[in-house]
A and B are shown apart, each in its own frame.
Chain A
Amino acid sequence: MSYEITSLCVNCHACMDVCPSDAINAGARTFVIAASDCTQCEGDYAVAQCASICPVEGAILNEFGEAANPPGSLTGIPPQRIAELVAQGIL
């Protein structure tokens, strides 16, 4: 299974630059990982590079289809706090 980029991607190019397999390219709306080229960085690095540099929580799914960086894991903002601000119409 390959890693995958979701619609949360902000097109920052960072993952494309660090992918050891050149598996990532700019797609129509977000960057896209070519499943056939993704090696999950096995043999190159201990951890998947795209997931290690991506700044957006939930933008990259691992080989199990789970968010590699779940809500709160990168910014430190509790997901509950985001929900409150969304409910208040602030975010």
Chain B
Amino acid sequence: MLDGTIKAEASAGCTQVSCGSSKDHVDQLPDAIRDRVKNHPCYSEEAHHHYARMHVAVAPACNIQCNYCNRKYDCANESRPGVVSELLTPEQAVRKTLAVAASIPQMTVLGVAGPGDPLANPARTFETFRMLSEQAPDIKLCVSTNGLSLPDCVDELMQYNVDHVTITINAVDPEIGAQIYPWIYWNNRRMRGVKAAKILIERQQKGLEMLIERGVLVKVNSVLIPGVNDEHLKEVSRVIKAKGAFLHNVMPLITEPEHGTYYGVMGQRAPTQQELTTLQDACGDMNMMRHCRQCRADAVGLLGEDRGEEFTLAKIDALDVDYAAAMETRARVQADIEAKRAQQKVHVETLKEQMKAANGKTLFTVNGLTLQHKTSLSQPAPMVAAGRTEETGLPAGLRSVQMAVASNGQGLINQHFGSAREFMIYEVSPRGARLIGHRKTAQYCTGPVNCGDGDAALPETIDMLRGCEVVLCSKVGFKPWDQLEAAGIIPNGEHADKPIVPALMAVYAELHASGALDRNLSARSGQQTASA
């Protein structure tokens, strides 16, 4: 039933998810589902600016091995899935969740995501859910899993109002699965090879079907591994959509050798941003998620930030949380957020109508950043350059350009290059600018292995920006300026504190005027190719 509605209504196409309109992919979902995910930062590009999430690390055990995971890794300074600082008992997890929910009233979602597989730790995971569903009924509960134990756990998940489940599905073909999963623990044995992959895939698919039958929302995560499952993920997307998954999140492989994973150590390369975007676009009519930050299994806060340090066990022990009072505050804060969102939506719709009436065209796309839309459309000054674009019309055949943006939020270019912990990556073309992803800077990791002060991280940050031709930020120091230029990336601080999209369009128009768009990137800097 759910299956049918999704198929009927979500077919507008992933290429339109973040372009062609200000809608984010959630707007394309049927009403009943949209209501359930609109406050979920991981499911809605727009919601992640307003609402926060947290993960509690209660699930250390795992029942499979993935070639992109190293179970030995535990680092306080790193941000990626499977990494945590502090393992919690269910009681500690509940105390932490209540403390965070009281301090961050916009925290709407609690997930169990590891560091192992939550459903390979059923006692710890379900005890956490049971206590939270009793003590904090206003928090949504989610779980992510590799799927091996999922069919056995579906009914229990239903008891605790877990209505969002993420399954990581990297393959539906056992031959390909065997290249990703070296072993599984199944029926009290360690099993390997194609046989093992076949069991895992069957269990994932069965779990997916069972959840859909029960009306649970299912998101599917896939790790894009060049040369292994890159082409195959289109088939994965087709299969999971046909079964009724509502969202597909294709994430790039993380493959640093120092992480000690099989892929990292054996030199398997990560996909380029271009490969990721191309694949996401090729997944045709499945709803694609593009704002995933691949966060830690104990992350706290808005997506892309981690306030976990503020809520260590030692710190929350000192807190005395009155959750009944907190719940009232939370309801008030969340109602205010909703009122603001509704207002913004009306405002944007009105502006769009006016623009349409004025010239029959939509000027640019905003990726669900409604605030940005509002600012840019209502303030004529920053619009001059973009306006020219509109009036003169850039040739439709101009090549697209990737640009990086340093932003603290509010849809503005308002962060110093050196302070940026991540960059937003936009694809800019005559049709507009669309957000295609986020990349973390080397500075994000300050651990002992490959990290250091800002200067030491600079070459890595520049390397990370590979493929981008311009980086927009509020300021850039002399040294990074020179090194960026040497790497073929134009630093641009001219649009400090200005809305992102009009600035991108202005820079794009300048590139066109200067003739830079007549040359392709590989000719300019020779860097479009992937790093090994």
Q: Which of B104-127 contact A (CB under 8 A)?
A: 116, 120-121, 123-124
* Contact between chains at B116 and A75 (CB < 8 Å): no
| Residue A35 at the chain B interface, CB threshold 8 Å | no
Q: Which of A19-60 contact B (CB under 8 A)?
A: 45-47, 49, 52-53, 55-56
Q: Is the interface of B mostly helix, strand, loop or mixed?
A: loop
On whether the beta carbons of A10 and B185 are closer than 8 Å, the reply is no
B62 touches A55 (CB 8 A): yes
Does the CB pair A81–B116 fall under 8 Å?
A: no
Q: Is the pair A53, B182 in contact by a Cβ cutoff of 8 Å? A: no
Is A82's CB under 8 angstroms from B71's CB? no
CB contacts (< 8 Å) of B508 on chain A: these are none
Q: Contact partner of B63 among A53, A56, A76, A85, CB < 8 A?
A: A53
Query: Given that A53-B190, A55-B62 are contacting pairs, would A91 and B260 also be in contact in the complex, using a CB cutoff of 8 Å?
Result: yes
CA distance in complex: A45, B188 (Å): 7
What B residues does A45 contact at CB under 8 A? 188
Say whether A1 faces chain B, with CB atoms less than 8 Å apart: no
Instruction: Confirm or deny: B258 has a beta carbon within 8 angstroms of a beta carbon on chain A.
Output: yes
Judge if B358 is at the interface, Cβ distance under 8 Å: no
Closest to A91 in B: B260
A77 at the interface (CB under 8 A from B): yes
Q: How far is the CA of A82 from the CA of B67 in the complex (A)?
A: 15
Please pick, from A11, A56, A77, the residue contacting B262 in the complex, using a CB distance under 8 A: A77
Q: Are B188 and A52 in contact, CB atoms less than 8 angstroms apart?
A: yes
Are A10 and B71 in contact, with the CB atoms below 8 A?
yes
Which residues of chain B come closer than 8 Å to A56, judged between CB atoms? 71-72
* Interface contact A11-B258, CB-CB below 8 Å: no
Cβ-Cβ contact count across A and B, 8 Å cutoff: 74
Q: How far is the CA of A49 from the CA of B186 in the complex (A)?
A: 11
* Smallest CB gap from B123: residue in A: A17
- How far does the alpha carbon of A17 sit from the alpha carbon of B61 in the complex, in Å? 9
In the complex, what's the smallest C-beta–C-beta distance from A85 to chain B, in angstroms? 6
The answer to whether A47 and B266 have CB atoms under 8 Å apart is no
> Which residue, B62, B260, B265, has most C-beta atoms of chain A within 10 A?
B265
CA distance A14 to B184 in the complex (A): 13
Check: B74 CB closer than 8 A to any chain A CB: yes
Closest to B260 in A: A91
Contact A90 B121 (CB under 8 A): no
Q: Does B87 contact A (CB under 8 A)?
A: yes
A10 near B266: Cβ-Cβ < 8 Å: no
B479 at the interface (CB under 8 A from A): no
Is the Cβ of A85 less than 8 Å from the Cβ of B188?
no
- Which residue in B65, B124, B265 is a CB contact (below 8 Å) of A85? B265
B67-109 residues with Cβ-Cβ distance < 8 A to A are 67, 70-72, 74, 87
A39→B116 CA distance, assembly (Å): 27
List A contacts of B189 (CB < 8 A).
Answer: 46-47, 52
Question: For A49, what are the chain B residues with a Cβ–Cβ distance below 8 Å?
Answer: 188
Taking the complex as formed, is B417 at the interface, i.e. its CB lies under 8 A from any CB of chain A? Answer: no
Decide: A13 near B60, CB < 8 A? Known: A49-B188, A76-B182.
yes
Interface size on A, residues (CB 8 A): 24
In the complex the two chains form, what is the Cα distance from A47 to B187 in whole Å?
11
In whole angstroms, how far apart are the Cα atoms of A37 and B512 in the complex? Answer: 75
Assess whether B183 is interfacial by the CB under 8 Å rule.
yes
Encoded as 1 (CB less than 8 Å from any B CB) or 0, chain A from 57 to 85 comes to: 00000000000000000111100011001
> Do A82 and B72 touch across chains, with their CB atoms under 8 A apart?
no
From A10, A13, A81, contact of B72 by CB (8 A): A10
Q: Considering only CB atoms, which chain B residue lies closest to A14 in the complex?
A: B61
- Cα-based distance from A28 to B262 in the complex (angstroms): 30
B182 touches A75 (CB 8 A): yes
B151 to chain A, nearest CB (A): 18
Q: Across the two chains, which residue of chain B brings its CB closest to A20?
A: B188
Q: Determine which residue in A12, A45, A81 has the highest number of CB atoms from chain B within 10 A of its CB, and name it.
A: A12
A13: B residues at CB distance < 8 A: 60-61, 116, 121, 124
Chain B residues positioned under 8 Å from A46 (CB to CB): 188-189
Complexed CA–CA distance, A81 and B265 (Å): 7
Partner of A91, one of B71, B121, B190, B258: B258
> Which residues of A have CB within 8 Å of B227?
none
On whether the beta carbons of A11 and B120 are closer than 8 Å, the reply is no
Contact call B116/A11, Cβ cutoff below 8 A: no
Closest to B261 in A: A75
Q: B60, B61, B257: which contacts A90 (Cβ < 8 A)?
A: B257
| Chain B contacts with A in 233-289, Cβ cutoff 8 A | 257-258, 260, 262, 265-266
Contact in complex: B116, A12 (CB < 8 Å): yes
CA distance A49 to B185 in the complex (A): 9
Asked if A77 contacts B71 (CB within 8 A), the reply is no
Task: Give the one of A46, A74, A75 with max B CB within 10 A.
Answer: A75
Closest to A45 in B: B188
> A56 vs B188: C-alpha distance in the bound complex, in angstroms?
17
How far, in whole Å, are A11 and B182 apart by their CA atoms in the complex? 21
How far does the alpha carbon of A43 sit from the alpha carbon of B266 in the complex, in Å?
A: 40
**Would B120 and A10 count as touching, CB distance under 8 A?**
no
Chain A residues with CB below 8 A from B260, complex form: 91
Determine the residue in chain B with the shortest Cβ distance to A53: B185
Besides A12-B71, A12-B116, A75-B65, 20 other A-B contacts (C-beta < 8 A): A10-B72, A12-B60, A13-B60, A13-B116, A14-B61, A14-B120, A46-B188, A53-B63, A55-B62, A55-B65, A74-B182, A74-B183, A75-B182, A75-B262, A76-B67, A76-B262, A81-B265, A81-B266, A91-B258, A91-B265
- List 14 contacting pairs A-B, 8 Å CB cutoff, sorted by A: A10-B74, A11-B87, A12-B71, A18-B185, A18-B188, A46-B188, A46-B189, A52-B188, A55-B71, A74-B65, A74-B183, A75-B65, A75-B70, A77-B266
